[in-house]
Structure 1
Amino acid sequence: MPAFTVLNGNIQTRRARVLAITLVIIVFLFFFNNSRLSDRTYLASTPITQSSNINGGTKQPPQANQDKDKELPIAHGEPDASADKLKADADGQDSYRNKDGELAKQPADASRSPGSSASSSASSSSSSAESKAPSSSSSAAAAAAQPPSPPPPPPSSEPCPSFENWMRTRPGPASEGKRKFPLNRPRPECRTFHSPAMESLITRMKSVIKDPDLYRLFENAYPMTLDSMVKWRGYANASTDASSDMELTYVITGDIDAMWLRDSASQVYSYLPLLEASDDKDSLASLWRGLINAHSRYIVISPYCHAFQPPPESGIRPTHNGAYVHNHPMPAYDPEKVFDCKWELDSLASFLQLSVAYAEKTGDWRFFGRHAWVDAVEAAVDAAGAMRLGTYSKDGKVEKSAWTFTGWTNRGSETLTNDGLGNPIRENGMVRTAFRPSDDACIFQFLVPANMMWAKYLESASEIMAKLDGDRARNLTAAMREQAFGIRQGIDRDAIVYRPGYGDIFAYEVDGFGGANLMDDANVPSLLAMPLWDFTRSKFKLPAGKRDYAEVYRNTRKYVLSDDNSYFMRGPVISAVGGPHVGPGKAWPMAAVIAAMTAYDPISGVKDVEKEVEEQLRMVLDSTAGTGVLHESVNSWKESDWTRAWFGWANGLFGELVLKMEAEEKKKGGKGLLAKDWQGDASASTSPAAPPPSR
């Protein structure tokens, strides 16, 4: 009996200890899962005052948190607590792979109407300069022919849902074509930025695009970033920056509440046709300047990082990213400022592209001499310059790399070999980059399209720098042009490879030792997209004996759009370039849009441009699974299997394509694909499933 009593007591004690430990673990996990990176109090925000409606209607919503009681930094940037998932990943899951299948399952409700394009066109007033459509998209006669827009409907008393939840309701009215696309634009009072120029354009394009489904896709897609992704705009705090008139803009990538340099630049760049010079704080020009300033600040902080947290002035708390725990870039980064850190050269190139576009369109050169733009360019040029160093010195010693990266992961594309160095490269003038624009690790780190884009915009941005005063600007101008010339030399020497059946083509990646990765990826910059930044022409010094890059591009294009490209996805739903980010079988509609846009450039060598554009456009139109937006990727054999519906980058590119089509069709008297009926099935003559060229 005594022995039994002791034994029984020990068992009870052990059970109590186990229960206590289990309870502690549960409590710890609960608080850890619901915690944020920091609860620190931010400096007082200085939001831009929003303009009221010209008719006394709704005001533009605040550009910071738009949710009730301002409890969480959700607004339109991230699914709220009722959504079926939170993106980005305390468990290390890849949010890009998520899919909201219920979007495709719910029928459109024609009785539901958040307001037509006409009614929403008067949702806010801005500067008079921006209130008219640009000359490239309209004329005075066309504008005069348009009836005046009716006043907007009164604002709803209902709170603004997250954009993903809004799309799940399939708001109406449905388009009148066979596809029955919903009208996904948020209610006017829920949109994150109001551009009268955009509303005028959407209204005008209804008379240009005759097919109701194609028009609805344009109506949903082109304004998506302005409608739902401009999460905050305001001014820098005077206590932390040289002056308090430094505009700031925070643009999220969609379903992930963080700002990618490349994505945000590309999303806003799509609105270049609408950009006009303006000092108005509610103009598109102000939004553009704010984004350049935000990029400048981030690049100075961490030039090797690619995605960033909200500005502290916004009052939006940083988003937790589980990657901070299992990724180890060196130098390390501050997770309250940086969301994720992968060295992607195209991020810096996109910053310069955004800067050059603003300067050339507005003529506002003085802007670049203020605030932090020169500091950012210097940081970017220095960071890229440090990564031109080869793996080995002349005497064979391993050189110290300015940046390394290792990750604890089950995906090979999420870490680098050789303890974070990546595969060796031989110095040739090009810039080594660890990750592609898809955020996947490079195999050979001289990523050719990223180097092309960086070289081109170094040259273009050097013209801005040359207009600024001082020795620093002059020295930077020379350094930018020298680096661009060195990159062009390296591309000419190592990046052109002979491929049987095609001739000389551009490799996607090279290492300087003779290694080459022959493929292309859907994400821009890509080999297919090269004409978009006009790499083949330059007013600056070019390598001696430069090859005929136009011919090399034509050969490359044929290769990229064939089965010989290991990441060209072919199927009855859509045939387009994909990539390893979401894997084999998933084509990216973005790549089909790029194929259509570049077909208009003479360098493409496309003989029947209208046929090529028609093929690509039909695939995009027929691969939305009834959602009325472009997805990140679509299964080439199953339309309902897709990733990411809230993807501003691809949708903005689609809008660019439609405006490009209109401009080209005007040259031919206005008849063309935009006047076409797209309700019939694709004919065999337009099928993209032709066999690859014989070898």
Structure 2
Amino acid sequence: MNPSTLTGLFLFLAATASAQVNYTCPNPAVYFTEYHGPFSAGRFNLSYQRPPAHCRTFNLSDVEDTVTRVKGQISDPDLSRLFENAFPNTLDTAIRWHGFAANNSEEELTFVITGDINAMWLRDSSNQLQSYLSLLKADTSSHSLASLYRGVINLQSRYINTSPHCNSYQPPAESGVEPAVNSFAATDVVTPNVTNTTVFECKYELDSLAAFLEVSYNYYNATEDLDFFNRYQWVDTVQTILNTVVNLTAGTYGPDGRVLDQPYTWNRTANSATESVSNLFRGNPVLGGTGLIRSYFRPSDDSCTYQLFIPANMMFSHFLGLCADIMQGLKSPSASGLASTMRSLESGIRAAIDAHALLHVSGNTTIYAYEVDGYGSFNIMDDANIPSLLSAPFFGYDVDDPTYQATRQLLLSSSNSYYMRGPVLNAIGGPHVSFGYAWPMASIVRILTSSDDDEIRGELRQLVSSTDGLGMIHESVNSWNVSDWTRPWFSWANGLFGQMILDLEDRKPYLLSESYQ
């Protein structure tokens, strides 16, 4: 059995360490709610949460070496333990299957689950691998970080070409992994029609398509492996993405006032407004011709109030432009024309953001709106999930730009209706979990976009103290009750924490030698 197939044997079923002794691997959904020694011996006495070595889904020596090295740089025992648990969490628990396509023995595929949901999100899987981006290098072997990246890009290509409006998907048939049951999506009515045997959920989110461009560029930039993009379906996938988003630049009405047919509608019977789409499943009216691309849902999987969702347009345009450079170098007869189209669309979206998303507030202050409709309506807020306005520097926006800084100042204050405050954690939340729950992810993004040592120290103290002693990054935490949190196993957030610590090791290593007790 080749190594990539071995990694497809899900770690938490059972593993045999020798011919005589069988070891049962823990169920992580339960394991991460329990306390395990040895404890950190810091003030918060954080639990050790890595599964046994034989139960980990994918082992890479570069990651293990990084854990050992960085732990040696961190003086605070609780911060060290949190990094040790969080950084390897995707490899430890979320590489559900890694193998090859049934119709091509060279085409690698990687099925990455989010953690406690046994499905693959385009956005999450791209970000889960991004946690290890600093370690990525060219490697043709099938048991390597580069192979995981290639497998994610190839599998995302398959998903997008089949169902481009969807956000999360079932395991590929080759894996032998049973499709997951999504009781919420079982009765969804989606146009175009999809099936739950291949799609886990079909919420159209512009950032999901941007995530494919992001993971593609990240792989190319780190490996310079241009030939990979000449193979398989990458060019066709970019064409599918362009066709999809161009159709979603149209507004609700035509020039003569006629209501236009929509390329996508989504209907779910739900008891929450964020799980439904108004106006016969089409959303609030949107002005056509703005140059912005519509998104029915946010990266939180909550429906947009106004579908010209600015953070996703920022992200999409940024990575579209970067991927145009990949496209330009390919052998496909259509590559040159596609590259030109990509660059034109990128510049058009950037101009449209400046034309429609800049709001003048008190005095001469200008900020970015979170959502707009093109008619003059706008939404001033931010959500913890990336892409967010707070994370705009991740997408080519200057962190020192006065407009970004003014937006950031508003978002990190009570003027943002979803900035949660309390003695446990002060951070941006969102309607997905609702009032009072701050998201550690937003606190991590705050660190990654800050050069202020005291601001970073304050966020690190909060992160270390807000895990309820479990030593894992949760989805959200009640700002007033450290024991009230959501999702024990959220791989992306854990990886992002590790990514942030590596960033501090590079930018501000002295902060890792301080105490956060």
Normalising by structure 2, we get a TM-score of 0.96
Cα distance in 1 between the residues matched to 2:3 and 2:25: 20
Could you say which residue in structure 2 is the equivalent of 1:179? 44
Cα distance in 1 between the residues matched to 2:238 and 2:77: 45
Which amino acid is 1:534 matched to? G
Cα distance in 2 between the residues matched to 1:649 and 1:199: 18
1:453–1:535 Cα contact (<8 Å) kept: no
| CA distances 1:432-485 after superposition (whole Å, capped 9, x unpaired) | 110000000000000000000000011000100000023311121112112112
1:505–1:552 Cα contact (<8 Å) kept: yes
Could you say which residue in structure 2 is the equivalent of 1:13? none
Cα distance in 1 between the residues matched to 2:398 and 2:124: 24
Shift of 1:66: 4.6
Given the alignment, which residue of 238, 243, 260 partners 1:382?
243
Shift of 1:622: 0.9
Tell me how large the CA RMSD over aligned residues is.
1.9
Question: What residue ranges of structure 2 are gaps of 5+ in the alignment?
Answer: none
2:10–2:57 Cα contact (<8 Å) kept: no
Cα distance in 1 between the residues matched to 2:255 and 2:221: 43
2:33–2:470 Cα contact (<8 Å) kept: no
Q: How does 1:668-679 map to 2 (within 5 A)?
A: 670=509, 672-679=510-517
Change (3 A) 1:393 1:250: same
Shift of 1:565: 0.3
2:119–2:168 Cα contact (<8 Å) kept: yes
2:33–2:488 Cα contact (<8 Å) kept: no
Asked if residue 324 in structure 1 is aligned to residue 185 in structure 2, the reply is yes
Which amino acid is 2:284 matched to? N
1:230–1:252 Cα contact (<8 Å) kept: yes
Could you say which residue in structure 2 is the equivalent of 1:460? 322
Q: How does 1:406-555 map to 2 (within 5 A)?
A: 406-427=267-288, 428-500=290-362, 503-536=365-398, 550-555=401-406
Q: How does 1:8-27 map to 2 (within 5 A)?
A: none
Change (3 A) 1:464 1:563: same
Change (3 A) 1:475 1:430: same
Cα distance in 1 between the residues matched to 2:360 and 2:511: 37
Could you say which residue in structure 2 is the equivalent of 1:63? 8
Change (3 A) 1:298 1:659: same
Cα distance in 2 between the residues matched to 1:535 and 1:467: 26
Say which SS state the counterpart of residue 245 (structure 1) adopts. strand
Cα distance in 1 between the residues matched to 2:514 and 2:18: 32
Say which SS state the counterpart of residue 189 (structure 1) adopts. helix
Larger Rg: 1 or 2? 1
Shift of 1:169: 4.0
Structure showing greater relative contact order (alpha-carbon pairs closer than 8 Å, 6 or more residues apart): 2
1:502–1:559 Cα contact (<8 Å) kept: no
Asked if residue 617 in structure 1 is aligned to residue 478 in structure 2, the reply is no
Could you say which residue in structure 2 is the equivalent of 1:271? 132
Q: How does 1:577-656 map to 2 (within 5 A)?
A: 577-600=428-451, 609-656=452-499
| CA distances 1:495-525 after superposition (whole Å, capped 9, x unpaired) | 0011226811000000000110000000000
Normalising by structure 1, we get a TM-score of 0.72
Could you say which residue in structure 2 is the equivalent of 1:107? none
Given the alignment, which residue of 17, 22, 41 partners 1:157?
22
Shift of 1:673: 1.6
Could you say which residue in structure 2 is the equivalent of 1:208? 73
Query: Among the aligned pairs, what percent are the same residue?
Result: 44
Q: Which moved more, 1:414-423 or 1:471-480?
A: 471-480
Shift of 1:287: 0.7
Shift of 1:154: 12
Asked if residue 261 in structure 1 is aligned to residue 126 in structure 2, the reply is no
1:496–1:506 Cα contact (<8 Å) kept: yes
Shift of 1:551: 1.2
| CA distances 1:6-34 after superposition (whole Å, capped 9, x unpaired) | xxxxxxxxxxxxxxxxxxxxxxxxxxxxx
Which amino acid is 2:224 matched to? G
Question: What residue ranges of structure 1 are gaps of 5+ in the alignment?
Answer: 1-46, 51-59, 70-74, 76-151, 538-548, 601-608, 680-695
Could you say which residue in structure 2 is the equivalent of 1:218? 83
| CA distances 1:240-284 after superposition (whole Å, capped 9, x unpaired) | xxx320000000001010000001110111110111110111011
Cα distance in 1 between the residues matched to 2:370 and 2:309: 6
Asked if residue 564 in structure 1 is aligned to residue 402 in structure 2, the reply is no
Asked if residue 300 in structure 1 is aligned to residue 161 in structure 2, the reply is yes
Which amino acid is 1:493 matched to? A
Cα distance in 2 between the residues matched to 1:385 and 1:422: 18
2:398–2:404 Cα contact (<8 Å) kept: no
Cα distance in 2 between the residues matched to 1:206 and 1:403: 48
Which amino acid is 1:64 matched to? L
Cα distance in 1 between the residues matched to 2:262 and 2:125: 28
| CA distances 1:101-138 after superposition (whole Å, capped 9, x unpaired) | xxxxxxxxxxxxxxxxxxxxxxxxxxxxxxxxxxxxxx
Cα distance in 2 between the residues matched to 1:630 and 1:206: 17
Say which SS state the counterpart of residue 646 (structure 1) adopts. coil
Which amino acid is 1:358 matched to? Y
Change (3 A) 1:295 1:48: farther
Shift of 1:204: 1.0
Number of equivalenced pairs: 515
